[in-house]
Structure 1
Amino acid sequence: MDFRTELKRRLIVFDGAMGTMVQRHGLPPGQPPEIFNIIRPEVIEDIHRQYIEAGADVITTNTFGANDLKLKGTGYTVEQVITQAVALARRAAGNKWVALDMGPIGQLMEPMGPLSFEEAYELYARQVKAGVKAGVDLILIETLSDLYEAKAAVLAAKENSSLPVICTLTFDQTGRTLTGADPLTAVVVLESLGVDALGVNCSLGPEGLLSIIDEFVSYSSLPVLVQPNAGLPQVVEGRAVYPSTPEVFQRHIMTMVQMGVRLVGGCCGTTPDFIRAIKQAVEGLTPASISAKGFTAVASGSKAVILGQGVKVIGGRIKASYNENIAWAIQNRELGDVVSEAIVQRRQGADILAVDAAVPGLDEKEAMLNLVREVQAVVNLPLQLNSASADVLEASMRIYNGKPLVRGVSSEQAVMDSIFPTVAKYGACVVGCTRNEEGTPVDARSRVKMAERIVSVAESYGIQKENIIIDCTMTDVADHPLKAMETLKAVELIEKELGLITTMDIQGVCEVWHGNENIGSTYLAMALAYGLDIPVVDLGDARIVETIKAFRFLSGQQ
């Protein structure tokens, strides 16, 4: 049976806890459960078989911590542990699916810890390669509390296999992960990375997860997997005791299925009795249909911003091409000044921060990567990555923590062909500028045609329409003021006829008429009235800030 095909048509039951079961057999102190694959293979195979007999459709390999760091000192390699684990699961599973289980690495990632993104990627890639060679059917990335680590794991799975990939996170009582991501942010980022299903496991027990699950199914266009603990554990005589019973667990799982959850199972404290109760409850049920939510969003690792629902503001001062002070700071590696600027713009009300590192004579890729790392380490706003270089954009998209907005695409075929493949790979939102080899057309209708072309080519690369934003900036309005009105007409037409979100760099307009600051704020007000969604502005300009506040107030957005 093809897992992706079955996922579309029926409910799928995963197994329950492995650690809980292994501990009953006297796991040596200080040893990871994964070594039982080698020293007590009959125990692991029997646990798998019990879950199959209970009705599980998917058996998860005993490899949760089978990475190079956690196995250090055990005397066993990643390949040895995973190969044996898959063989045991396969013998017990028969014609059921076997999932390679990958949990947290065990070290915090930068900037909170010492582990770099590429180091995390390589650790996961080694696990994936071993699992694929051993013959797993799908990959389950679970119990992660950091979306940045989840990105490393998902990319490792997708770049080193063609198998279905599922990723679940763990949430605390605040409704967020350890690093601050809420369910909306989790959905935005994981869907952008192209997982086949997503969800939540471990965490608070089934009842405590209901509000989190409600957000997942409300936002997600993909199937949702839930594997709760058997309640919150209590320590009794030195061991963790989970309070939930199979009957209580079953009732909560049924509530989740009614909410729209399509894949179910158990985590810590659950046993084959829990899986048997789940299977009996869901057997023969038709899952709720999954609808495409179709909203446009960008995200950092802990904050998502939905675009097209009210005016959102891009702070535009961290651009070397616009700000001489930023260019100097980047060139002289004084990135503390850049970070301070990011903090100021967040305080001034930016929803997104634009960054570029194009300084003449400087290695733009290296500078951009340093810029992205420093800013996202301190400020939780999503970033707009600006560059005319496909290589720079690809490198920065890869190490970016979240779902970025990417600016650097025009309607020139060569430019689109160089950038769209990586935009599709990393699931970014992309800004398409309505210009070609001959420049920016004057009349609004020509710009609409360019926008249509951008959408058509983007969709041919697998980029969904909701991830495309059109830039209507006009660069030479000073020489031809009437072009300003044509630009506003383009904003209106692109929104009404194409249903696309629009952006415009107001900083350029203000710069052109530097001697008359009222023109910039007046033009911004006109653009907002014509339907502009995302202005790029200098939030240090009081007139601009007050114009945005007034528009939001008068249009009922605050």
Structure 2
Amino acid sequence: MKIDDLVLEKFKDRFIIFDGAMGTMLQKSGLKVGDLPETLNITNPDIIRNIHKQYIDAGADIIIANTFGANELKYSSSKYSIEEVITAGVKIAKEAAQDKLVALDVSSIGQMMEPTGPLSFEAAYNLFKKQFVIGEKAGADLILIETMSDLYETKAAVLAAKENSDLPVFCTMTFQDNGRTLMGTDPKTMVFVLEGLGVDVLGVNCSLGPKELMPIVEEILKYASIPVMVQPNAGLPRYDGKNTVYDITADEFVKYVKIMVEKGVRVLGGCCGTNPEFIKKLCEGLKDSKPLKIEEKNFSVVCSSTETVFLGEKVTIIGERINPTGKSKYKEELKEKSVNFIQTQAVKQKEEGAHIIELNVGLPEIDEKEIMIKAVKSVQKVVQLPITIDSPNEEVLEAGARVYNGKPIINSVNGKTEIMKKVFPVVKKYGGCVIGLTIDESGIPDTAEGRFKIAEKIVNTAKEYGIHKKNIIIDCLALTASAQQKEVLETIKAIKLVKEKLEVKTVLGVSNVSFGLPRREILNRTFLSMALYAGLDLPIMNTGDEGMKEVISSFEVLSNIDREGKNYVEKYGTKLVGKKEEAVTNIENISSIKDLKQIIVDGIEKDAITSTEVLLKTKEPLEVVNSYIIPALDYVGEQYEEKEIFLPQLIQSAETVKKSFEVIKKKIVEQGEESISKGKIILATVKGDIHDIGKNIVKVLLENYGFEVIDLGKDVAIEKVVNTVKEHNVKLVGLSALMTTTVVNMKKTIEALRENNLQCKVFVGGAVLNEQYAEMIGADFYAKDARESVRIAEEIFRN
């Protein structure tokens, strides 16, 4: 029996209770502002040991080692190595735990992940790997990956844990009050991706109080097939002028947590604001309760980081065009390692109605593995649709699946035993869906029954690898009517057999049927209609073929998928056509294909350079900024606020603007003109705080709206802020803080600016802040996000 089996077996019929907040207890113990909490493992171990002991006495089953932020980036300037800090932290916890278990605590590295930030996937993986290796060697019983806001970083952490440790992995993410993480992941997407990666327990921590977390917890429970963990805060924070306090008592905390338990939560604990009293009352409140039985959920899905597509609920279209077959331009770009064709086609197919983008980079004369990695990353930059990673080479499939941010379709496996041995371990490891082709060592069977037998073999063999049939998609293979006319109907019959007897999803490259015949679109549409009636779930097709999309729309009405024909009427109804056309026109008012505005909206950086160069031949730089760049950014900002897009897309559009600005600035220098800066703004993460992700996001947006940003970095001394305002005569200062302990330094910085009679306005932001905080510490504005920072800046510099 493995270690993870032993740990989970111990709690098979009862709840698992973790401890409460470490940071809250450390603040009470006198942790100094700006100190790295984990260094106390070495400098004052008695404080840490005492906190652990209090939680053990309160009844916790598992205590969390004081290793939350102990990674090499955060400790690069510390005199203590992470080996020393993590080893000490785990050993102190083990001493205090006695017969209870100890979790190695690991959280976010503190830098934004690619493509929105500088941290690469493999760099993040290696940082996490070191923490897990040290922690397991020190004696940790399990790994807790917590307070994660980026699914991509979370994936790097989970893979590092699974590949370098035998310990069970518990993983929780933190969500905002809009029901998504900072980077836009919703609860169901988190569930499907983390379950696929093989975590043992998943859930949510921090974020909000238990009452406010309830909708998020309910959604997690709806989709999860493994134990769910919840560690809420002690309500919502507020600043009392001296400290951060939380608004619910231990009794209220337990009241809401017990509701979660009744819904199916099995693993519980506390986060910010909780203490041993909360854990004691939680244990008492649950002592007579038993956890609900966990049920296997049967959802077939694929995911990007922000979007989940449920297979089988409606016809799911896979866009076929990113494939080098018959595309000389694409082949040339692949040889040049260019991704421009890939990005433009991904965007275009999304606009045409694709639900999933197929990605094939197979050319014999290129390094397919290298290009697949680049291609996956490039598509993730510009669209948030799930992707199909298509290659006959298992190493290419793994390379693509590894760097993909979500749950992909892996295309493909077939009935050949050797191929299944190579591909199924990749599918299992990365938790994707897999396409199974009905071909084996003897080729493609002539009959439907022959193809069904291969499909059955694929499903049964996948089960041996631990791959559930909800993650299998069978391709009964469309053959050309021009050469194998008799076999066309056999494909249709095979789809029907597979759907009825194996109960798996089906996929088909529809247009293969018409090769070599005239008016191919007629055959394609008819064949598509036949296949849909037989049970086809995922047609791989040309998303630009309106006739094929009309077949799908009508099929969904006639088969009762499109209830009351609402989608059909919206698309084709006479009364609604005008409204739809008006909406399209509104978008076209700010953009058209290859127009700079649309390029910025789509986030295609290379095209931004070319388009800006063309515009500057007939327009002045300021006109390009005001008539193209700013309207595009405003549109993207509105989409962000309406939750049509999320932070990665907002940042990608801003990065695209950077490319445009590089061309504009060069033109300004050539003309001998002055800068087009709207004004100078200082940004700083306050003294004692080393978190600057939020500040960096604000910087990117402000710069792209034409403001000059003086970025003072993180852990900035009060005097430095004051002196910089004096030196540059700055009208606006933005201050950031993530930690509750550093809000006091934000207040002191504002006071210092006022005491020096500096006529600047101050806006503040950060996870621990709200409007009440901002008012109490003397700030002029509270910026809830980067978009709000832009509005504040425009208001200040308009006056």
Pair 1:125-2:129 in alignment: yes
Q: 1:249-398, aligned counterparts within 5 Å?
A: 249-321=253-325, 323-398=327-402
What is the correspondence of 1:409-428 to structure 2 with a 5 Å cutoff?
Answer: 409-428=413-432
**1:422 CA displacement:** 1.4
- SS of residue in 2 equivalent to 1:16: coil
- The amino acid that maps onto 1:298 is V
- 1:476 shift after superposition: 3.2
Q: Secondary structure at the match of 1:166?
A: strand
What is the Cα deviation at residue 512 of structure 1? 4.2
Name the CA distance, whole Å, in 2 between partners of 1:516 and 1:13: 63
Q: Structure 1, residues 256-281: CA drift from partner, whole Å, max 9, x if none?
A: 10010000100001000111111110
Aligned 8 A contact 1:230 1:268 in 2: yes
Q: Does 1:17 align with 2:17?
A: no
1:163 aligned counterpart, secondary structure: coil
Please list every run of 5 or more consecutive structure 1 residues that lacks an aligned counterpart in the other structure.
none
Give the equivalent residue in structure 2 for 1:219. Answer: 223
Q: Which amino acid aligns with 1:343?
A: V
Q: State how far apart, in whole Å, the 1-side matches of 2:259 and 2:48 are.
A: 31
The structural deviation recorded for 1:514 is 4.3
Over residues 224-274 of structure 1, what are the superposed CA-to-partner deviations in whole Å (9 max), with x where a residue is unaligned?
Answer: 000001112112224211111101101011011001000010000100011
What's the secondary structure of 2:220's corresponding residue? helix
Choose the corresponding residue for 1:509, options 507, 513, 517.
513
The CA deviation at 1:7 is 3.6
Deviations 1:509-553 (A, max 9, x none): 244434342111011011001110100011011211211122122
Mapping 1:527-546, distance limit 5 Å: 527-546=531-550
Q: CA deviation at 1:322?
A: 5.3
Greater CA deviation, 20-29 or 109-118? Answer: 20-29
Residue 73 in structure 1 maps to residue 94 in structure 2: no
How high is the TM-score relative to the length of structure 1? Answer: 0.98
8 Å contact kept, 1:296–1:306: yes
d(CA) in 2 for partners of 1:353, 1:442: 30
* 1:440–1:474 Cα contact (<8 Å) kept: no
- In structure 2, what is the equivalent of residue 453 of structure 1? 457
2:289 alignment partner, SS class: coil
- Provide the residue aligned with 1:497 in structure 2: 501
C-alpha RMSD of the superposition: 1.3
What's the counterpart of residue 436 of structure 2?
A: 432
Moved more, 237-246 or 268-277: 237-246
CA distance in structure 2 between the partners assigned to 1:8 and 1:496 by the alignment = 36
CA distance 1:512–1:180, change in 2 (3 Å): farther
Please tell me whether the aligned partners of residues 513 and 520 of structure 1 are also in contact (alpha carbons under 8 angstroms). no
Q: Given residue 137 of structure 2, which amino acid in structure 1 is its aligned partner?
A: K
Deviations 1:160-197 (A, max 9, x none): 11111010000011101111111110000000000101
2:475 matches 1:471:
yes
User: 1:507: how far off?
Assistant: 2.6
1:164 paired residue number: 168
CA distance in 1 between partners of 2:447 and 2:175 (Å) = 51
Give the ranges of 4+ consecutive aligned residues of structure 1 lying more than 6 Å apart after TM superposition.
Answer: none
2:633 match: none
The superposition leaves residues 296-323 of structure 1 with CA deviations (integer Å, 9 ceiling, x where unpaired) of 1111111111112221111111112354
2:36 is matched with 32
SS at match of 2:313: coil
Match of 1:58 among 49, 54, 62: 62
TM-score, reference length from structure 2: 0.69
If asked which structure has higher relative contact order (CA below 8 Å, sep 6+), I would say 1
Matches within 5 A, 1:121-160: 121-160=125-164
Q: Which blocks of at least 5 consecutive residues in structure 2 are unaligned?
A: 563-799
Name which of structure 1's ranges 182-191 and 506-515 shifts more when overlaid on structure 2. Answer: 506-515
Which of 92, 104, 113 aligns to 1:109? It is 113
CA distance in 1, matches of 2:103, 2:29: 23
Q: What secondary structure does 2:309 align onto? A: strand
Identify if the C-alpha distance between structure 1 residues 462 and 544 changes in structure 2 by more than 3 Å, giving closer, same or farther: same
Q: Is residue 506–residue 538 contact of structure 2 (8 Å, CA) maintained in 1?
A: yes
Deviation at 1:556, TM superposition (A): 2.6
Aligned CA distance change for structure 1 residues 69 and 230 (closer, same or farther; 3 Å): same
The secondary structure found in structure 2 opposite 1:374 is helix
Q: Secondary structure at the match of 2:334?
A: helix
- Return the alpha-carbon distance in structure 2 between the equivalents of residues 70 and 236 of structure 1: 30
Q: Matched residue of 2:320: which SS?
A: strand
Distance 1:287 1:472 in 2: 43
Label 1:457 to 1:236 Cα distance change in 2 as closer, same or farther (>3 A): same
- Which residue identity is paired with 1:99? A
- Residue 561 of structure 2: aligned partner: 557
Contact 2:323-2:360 at 8 Å conserved across structures: yes
- Residue 156 of structure 1 deviates from its aligned partner by 0.8
Mapped partners of 2:555, 2:334: distance in 1:
35
Cα separation, 2, equivalents of 1:322 and 1:164: 48
1:87-125 Cα shifts (integer Å, max 9, x gaps): 111111110010000011101100111000000001111
Q: 1:144 corresponds to which letter in structure 2?
A: M
Letter in 2 for 1:153: A
Equivalent residues of 2:499, 2:535 under 8 A apart = yes
Q: Which amino acid aligns with 1:295?
A: F
Task: Kindly state the Cα deviation for residue 2 of structure 1 after the two structures are TM-superposed.
Answer: 2.9
- Within 5 A, what are the aligned runs for 1:209-248? 209-248=213-252
Identity of paired residues, percent? 47
Alignment-mate amino acid for residue 124 of structure 1: F
Question: How far apart, CA to CA, are the structure 2 residues paired with 1:376 and 1:514?
Answer: 36
Aligned-pair CA distance for 1:462: 1.8
Q: How many residues align?
A: 558
1:407 is paired with a residue of what secondary structure?
strand
Bigger proportion of residues as helix:
2
Q: Is the 8 A contact 1:329 1:338 kept in 2?
A: no
Partner-residue secondary structure (3-state), 1:9: coil
1:141 Cα offset (Å): 0.2
Tell me the secondary structure at the aligned position of residue 488 of structure 2.
helix
Query: Does the CA contact (< 8 Å) of 1:181 and 1:302 recur in 2?
Result: yes
Give per-residue Cα distances to partners, 1:320-373, cap 9 Å, x unaligned: 235443333322333123211111111111111100101231111111111001
Compare 326-335 and 66-75 and name the one that shifted more: 326-335
Partner of 1:89: 93
Q: What code does the residue aligned with 2:6 have?
A: D
